Copies of this chain bind each other. A is one copy, B any other.
Amino acid sequence: MRDILLYGVCGGVLIVALKLTEYRFLVLEHSVELYVALVAALFAGLGIWLGLTLTRKKPTMIIKELPAQAAEPLVADETCVSQLGITARELEILGLIATGLSNREIAGRLFISENTVKTHSSRLFDKLGAKRRTQAVQIGKSARLIP
């Protein structure tokens, strides 16, 4: 939600900037080449930033078949973890969620605040693309993040 507003505001700002530079161009008679180059560089930078931002934590998922139970909870682990940018703390909390603990119980077990657990789980759900903790557990099991 914040990102949408952010991008909308950025787009509006850029449009305004564009008109402003157009106005300046008409008034001050800058050279066309300089103006075009500025706009091109500006939008190129915008595009790069946009692309980087949009794809930073949302990698495209490709469903891939793996043969069978090789019983390796650490091999695909690090792959997926580095892929999605899941931290060790978030993975730890995912494991505790999978055992059926509530946020308060997790907080008591890890000696941290319940709000912290919520923050971790929120970011974890965002990275996993899950809306509920049960879904996060399901995705985590599918991705072999948790045994």
| Beta-carbon contact of A62 and B143 below 8 Å | yes
| Beta-carbon contact of B98 and A83 below 8 Å | no
Among candidates B48, B58, B79, residue contacting A48 with C-beta atoms closer than 8 Å: B48
Protomer copies? 2
Among candidates B16, B21, B42, B62, residue contacting A60 with C-beta atoms closer than 8 Å: B62
Is the interface on chain A under 10, 10 to 19, 20 to 34, or 35 or more residues?
A: 35 or more
Which residues of the other chain, B, contact A130 by a CB distance below 8 angstroms? Answer: 100
**A99 and B15 contact, Cβ closer than 8 Å, known pairs A51-B48, A80-B62:** no
A37 to B11, CA, bound (A): 14
Which residues of the other chain, B, contact A132 by a CB distance below 8 angstroms? Answer: 100, 102
Which residues of the other chain, B, contact A56 by a CB distance below 8 angstroms? Answer: 55
A71 to B46, CA, bound (A): 44
Q: Please report which residues of chain A, range 7-52, place their CB below 8 angstroms from some CB of chain B when the two chains form the complex.
A: 7-18, 20-22, 25, 32-33, 35-37, 39-52
Other than A7-B54, A13-B15, A98-B134, give 13 A-B pairs with Cβ distance below 8 A.
A10-B50, A40-B40, A44-B50, A45-B47, A47-B51, A49-B51, A58-B59, A59-B62, A60-B61, A60-B64, A66-B68, A98-B138, A102-B131
